[in-house]
A and B are shown apart, each in its own frame.
Chain A
Amino acid sequence: MAVPSFLARERIIARPGFNRWLIPPAALAVHLCIGQAYATSVYKTALVADFESSLTAIGIVFSIAIVMLGLSAALFGTWVDRNGPRAAMFTSACFWSLGFFVGSAGIATDQLWLLYLGYGVIGGIGLGIGYISPVSTLIKWFPDRPGLATGMAIMGFGGGALIATPLSRQLMGWYDDAYVASGPGANLASGDAVAKLFLTFGVVYLAFMMFGAFIVRVPAEGWKPAGFDPSTVKAKSMVTTNSVSAANAIKTPQFWLLWIVLFCNVTAGIGILEQASPMIQDFFRENGTSTVAATAAAGFVGVLSLFNMGGRFVWSSTSDYIGRKPIYMVYLGVGLVLYVLLATIGSSATWLFVVLAALILSFYGGGFATIPAYLRDLFGTYQVGAIHGRLLTAWAAAGVAGPLIVNRVLDTQGTPGQLVASDYRPALFIMVGLLAVGFVANLLVKPVAAKWHEPKADAIFTDTQEAKVTR
């Protein structure tokens, strides 16, 4: 599918002297916007009341969006790699904003299916394309620090929720005088206020993402940062200088091992993230009453958000120094130990519970941010965006599996609001098992066999070109 010439990859090839530090804000402009997807809880109850529906019916909107993220990233990954980041960011901006506009129409006219179609399906496509759009570009601009580069962008996805949550409350307060976010006089926002919020987000996100689309550039073939010696990359056994196409990558055991790694890491993280607020209250319940107030529980969710975001940047950057495989051994191995501690001694002190959960969430974020660099190490830069897109189906699957495991287990243990720490143990030990599976899968990852490598003449990042670069 051809794109208009102003979006074409050929139009955005950087000339010598271009400063690569303009690329991270371009990527962040997209990820900060699409990260709003994790802030839907802020108006979820208002939508339940407005549609006179159930939490499940409204919650499906978010589930559709995440499933569409995985599907569209997998389906459009090759298109994104072929047409470049500007076309991808532009398309993502159009879909993401259109999703808000259609969703707003659905809320304003009380038609839930329009909300499903708008925010869920159309917005979800924007999410998937937007999520992968800057990844391969960043990896090519930062061959010396790919973990840092992708960590910065994917940190933006976590940051997007941090911005959208308070901003939504502020805007709904402006659009509905009766709305009180929390406290004794708490009052839900009207459907009209949420519809206007969606319209506002549609306009603001369109402008922001377009800014990213128009400042982004791709490096010229053979470009390398000053002082960077590609032979140092080649020297690491788990880092290839060959290229594997997306079509071939999914035929390799390495791709499916990483799929399992990502699935296990995300499922385990979501287990805590999904239940964070009631979980801390349940862990410290004595004689039917929790010692943790609702406002403190909200604070706990805030702490987790900060660690989720920080982990994306810190751990992914660390992986540039210690390697991708070792850092996943930390995420999964240390994460496993932390989960065991959470299940066994987590209820002995609030501070201990918070520290353990925060570290687990930092590994969850780190797992997301490091995976593109891991893919680049194994499959090269050739079609890393498309391969990353296909791998994100693991996220979509984990988005369904994680909450399902936790909710199913808790349903068998008792009634919400009366649960205690021991009721969470079965779910937490299932997560321990999953992390063990992920740990083993990561241990089995070896360099990709030469038979999957692209012929040197066709490859984008060949030894010959590298030799040219090093001259």
Chain B
Amino acid sequence: MSTSVGNHATQETTHTPVGLIAFAWALVGVPLVYGLYQTVKTASNLF
């Protein structure tokens, strides 16, 4: 997981895995989409 921890004094270049970025966004995105869907469903009662 770690891409930047270490001896930064050496200034080694790192590469953040795309999979980690996708996983992190999915982890927050999926619950958010669930919440949005449920809220839109409730909001539709207004119209």
Chain A residues, CB < 8 A from B34? 163, 166-167
Question: A11, B39: Cβ atoms under 8 Å?
Answer: no
| Contacts known (A163-B35, A305-B39); A22 close to B20, Cβ less than 8 A | yes
Cα–Cα, bound, A407→B28 (Å):
36
Chain A residues, CB < 8 A from B20? 22, 215
| Contacts known (A15-B13, A299-B46); A29 close to B35, Cβ less than 8 A | no
Cα–Cα, bound, A303→B11 (Å):
49
Looking at the complex, which one of B15, B25, B39 makes contact with A302 (CB distance below 8 Å)? B39
Q: Tell me if A271 counts as interface (CB < 8 A to partner B).
A: no
Nearest CB of chain A from residue B6's CB, rounded to whole Å: 7
| Contacts known (A299-B47, A302-B43, A305-B39); A18 close to B3, Cβ less than 8 A | yes
Nearest CB of chain A from residue B37's CB, rounded to whole Å: 9
Q: Which of B1-47 contact A (CB under 8 A)?
A: 1, 3-6, 8, 11-16, 20-21, 24-25, 27-28, 31-32, 34-36, 38-40, 42-47
Question: B21, A19: Cβ atoms under 8 Å?
Answer: yes
Looking at the complex, which one of A25, A164, A306 makes contact with B28 (CB distance below 8 Å)? A25
Question: How many residues on A have C-beta within 8 angstroms of the other chain's C-beta atoms?
Answer: 41
Tally inter-chain residue pairs, CB-CB below 8 A. Answer: 114
Q: Tell me if A295 counts as interface (CB < 8 A to partner B).
A: yes
Chain A residues, CB < 8 A from B39? 162, 165-166, 302, 305-306
Chain A residues, CB < 8 A from B43? 299-300, 302-303, 306
Q: Tell me if A296 counts as interface (CB < 8 A to partner B).
A: yes
Question: A306, B36: Cβ atoms under 8 Å?
Answer: yes
Q: Which of A1-44 contact B (CB under 8 A)?
A: 11-19, 21-22, 25-26, 28-29, 32
| B contact residues vs A (CB 8 Å cutoff) | 1, 3-6, 8, 11-16, 20-21, 24-25, 27-28, 31-32, 34-36, 38-40, 42-47
| A contact residues vs B (CB 8 Å cutoff) | 11-19, 21-22, 25-26, 28-29, 32, 156, 159, 162-167, 208, 211, 214-215, 217, 220, 295-296, 298-303, 305-306, 354
The 6 closest A-B pairs by CB, nearest first: A299-B46, A162-B35, A302-B43, A163-B35, A299-B45, A19-B16
